[in-house]
Structure 1
Amino acid sequence: MDPAGGTPQGTGTSALARGLCAVGNAARGLGRYLEGVLGADKYRVYLEHQARTHPGVEPMGEREFWRDYTDWQEKNPQGRCC
């Protein structure tokens, strides 16, 4: 232990810092989960797909993507809450 009574010397980060890091990681994970459930990650997934399968082709902008996606949903209704 250090003379001030804190964490042992040479152990790196404190327990508080490790705890805050764990909380931050959990919050980011929860955010990604909720984005997936709510569909907010669809544009990011679209961009990843475009880059992987159609390199060199410019993807739609975000506004154009969402307009196209909602038009597609209207033409192809599926089980959804709204």
Structure 2
Amino acid sequence: MNNNIHNETDVLLDEHQIAELTGFSLSRLRNDRYLKQGIPFIKIGSSVRYRMADYRAFIEQSRVDTARDGELYDSGKGAA
């Protein structure tokens, strides 16, 4: 087994990378950490890291489902 191969869930991102992925400002990320909300993070000494898996879970949890009556919404159709 090759120990150099990491699962995506093992990937750690810094706040600049998360800011780029989310479009959030660094100040928003820092404020979220202070308030203990938003994307879970890991503190290693003075460094802050985010797991890719936590970022993806946060995005999925933030998803707003626009399904109507069990079907995906199609903006090309008029309301029934």
TM bracket (short chain): under 0.3
Structure with higher strand content: 2
Higher radius of gyration, 1 or 2: 1
TM-score, length-normalised on structure 1?
0.26
TM-score, length-normalised on structure 2?
0.26
Q: Kindly indicate whether structure 1 or structure 2 has the higher relative contact order, using CA contacts under 8 Å at least 6 residues apart.
A: 2
Structure with higher helix content: 1
